[in-house]
Structures are given as structure tokens and as C-alpha cells.
Amino acid sequence: MRALRVTDDTAGPGGVRLADVPEPGEDALVVRVRAAGVGFPDLLMSHGRFQIRQPVPFTLGWEAAGEVVHAPAGSAFAPGDRVVTLSFGAHAEQVAAVPEATFALPAGLSDEQAAALPLNYLTAYAALRRRGRLQAGETVLVHGAAGGTGTAAVQVAKALGARVLAVVSTPEKAETARAAGADEAFPASGDWRAQVLEAGGADVAFDPVGGDRFADTLRCMNAEGRVVVVGFADGAIPTVAVNRLLLRNVDVCGCTWSVLATTPTGLADAAAELSRMVVAGAVTPLVGATYALEDGPRALRDLEQRRARGKAVLVA
């Protein structure tokens, strides 16, 4: 089968090649990939800068939507089931899916929309609900709000009954953040801190960007606010002057989606909750550009050059 392989993880998207690789073994839960999400973690892996460094060559991709082509004996799935999966190696024609991270595809979503769900929406849910302890009626500040995790956070926050203030770099991205459901969108190059404060401050901040803006994020948190660190798309990892946390009792915490997997049913419970949000019409992933599998390196470059809006998706 064809797969997108990182052959040189010092070369970024330039080291990613389409290659023929063996299909997953018959002992695995095998999913034929109809659509696969492309996210910043894929870009970081192509540069050898992700937290977990894989030996090269390896197949990229963390998430896919498609149908089961083979299910081992005793599996909860059967051939033909339409599923989404959070499983590594998804930028290929088939993926060996992790059963505990594979779920029925929510009704009403296309394969492209569903492929945007697993990584970003589980991350947004974990960050806002679990780590950020978000309550209905609170205000959430979302950085990078037109990106993959950003649009997911906007939608999950709205579905949980929050008001959303978005920070984005261009007017087009402001449109995307509003289309995702943001109540306000402020330019990253302007005085967004003043605008957030004028809008009443933030109770929870969702930050997949990092860099210089972190100090200003702390300055616009309300009393007992929670800043959730999700990633560093800016490239720079901020440091915290902890005196800023004291006066207003602000928490800073990190989040990866894997926090959901620390209990036996955590991932399934979160997926079920997201599915309910989809069915209720509160969550509809915003697919940006779509690409053929062989154009994966172009998708990675679009993320790297900050051009992507919504979720980049590879389609079969």
C-alpha cells in the first residue's frame, strides 16, 4: 500500500516521500483510510522535533476516518464499520488502528470532517473540560483560533456553554475563528490583551501557540483563571514569572490528549461526549484545504508557513 514516510527527519516536509509499504497484519484492527488529518505534530515529526522521536523511516499521521476492512476475533468492530481513529501511521491507504482509540464515526459527518475530530477535538476536550475545568458561562481565550486545535477549542468551548475570545493573525483567520463560533476575534499583532480585558477578561486560556504572547495571556486572566498549555506553534517555549500567578490565584497547567487515557474509559467517554456534540449540531469540524496523499508535504508546508485555516485533511 502507499504511505507517506519520513525518510530524513532533519529535512522537514522535504524529507517526506510517498512509498510502498506492507499492509498491516491480519492480527490488527485494519482501517481503510478515506481521510486523514494533518496537524502540527506531523510537521514537528518531519523535523525530528516532536517529543517522541521515531526511528526513520516511519509513516506519518495520527488520525483518520474510514472503514474497517479487518477486525480480529473478539473485536467490538466488524468489516464495513465506519470509524474514526487516533492511531499512529494514518497517512497511508490503511492503518493498524488502536482499538481503544477507535470509535464509530458520528452520524452526519463526512469522512473529511470526521478525520479532523480525533486528535484536535479530544485535545480540546481534555484541555478545556479536564485540565481547564471549564464551566458554562465562563469566558475562554483561544490562541491560534483559526488553526486545527484552535477551531476545535472554539467549538468545544461553545458546546460547553462558554463565551469565546479568539486571537488570530489575519482578517481571513478572524473570519475562520468566527465561523467556528468565536464571539470576538482580535488581531495577534494588535493590543489583544487590552481587548480581552475590555471584554471582561478570561477564565480559561487555551494556548497552542506559546512564544511572547504568554506573559500577556497571564495578564488578562480573571481571578482563579486557568491557562492551559497545549503546544508551541510559535516555536518559542515561554517561561512563567510565577509572581504573576499569585495575586489573582491563576493556574498554569499543561495538557495532552493522553490525559484522557489515564482511566480505562476516559477516551471512549470523551469520544461519546464529542459525538453527542456533533449530533446536537454544536460541533462540526471546519475542514480547510484538502490534499491527495502524495501532496502531504505541501500540506505540511502550508502549516509551517502559517497558511492553513481550519483542519488540513488528506483524502483518498
Which chain residues interact with ligand NAP by CB under 6 A?
Answer: 39-41, 44, 119-120, 123, 144, 146-150, 168-169, 173, 188, 208-209, 230-235, 255-257, 303, 306, 308
Measured CA to CA, the distance from residue 192 to residue 298 in angstroms comes to: 31
Q: For residue 251, list its beta bridge partners.
A: 226
Q: Which CB sits closer to ligand NAP, 77 or 121? A: 121
Q: Name the DSSP letter for residue 164.
A: E
| 41 Ramachandran zone, left/alpha/beta (phi>0; psi -120 to 50) | alpha
Q: Which CB sits closer to ligand NAP, 148 or 225? A: 148
In angstroms, give the least distance from the CB of 178 to ligand NAP.
13
In angstroms, give the least distance from the CB of 53 to ligand NAP.
14
What three-state secondary structure class fits 287?
A: strand
Residue 211 CA: distances (Å) to CA of 166, 207, 233, 308: 17, 10, 8, 19
All three cell numbers of 174, joined, read 478572524
Q: Which CB sits closer to ligand NAP, 15 or 231? A: 231
In angstroms, give the least distance from the CB of 131 to ligand NAP.
10
Q: For residue 32, list its beta bridge partners.
A: 67, 94
Determine the number of helices (DSSP H) and then strands (DSSP E) in the chain.
Answer: 10, 16
In angstroms, give the least distance from the CB of 255 to ligand NAP.
6
Q: Which CB sits closer to ligand NAP, 70 or 91? A: 91
In angstroms, give the least distance from the CB of 243 to ligand NAP.
26
Residue showing the smallest CB distance to ligand NAP in the complex: 147
In angstroms, give the least distance from the CB of 286 to ligand NAP.
11
Q: Which CB sits closer to ligand NAP, 169 or 290? A: 169
Residue 201 CA: distances (Å) to CA of 3, 138, 193: 46, 10, 9
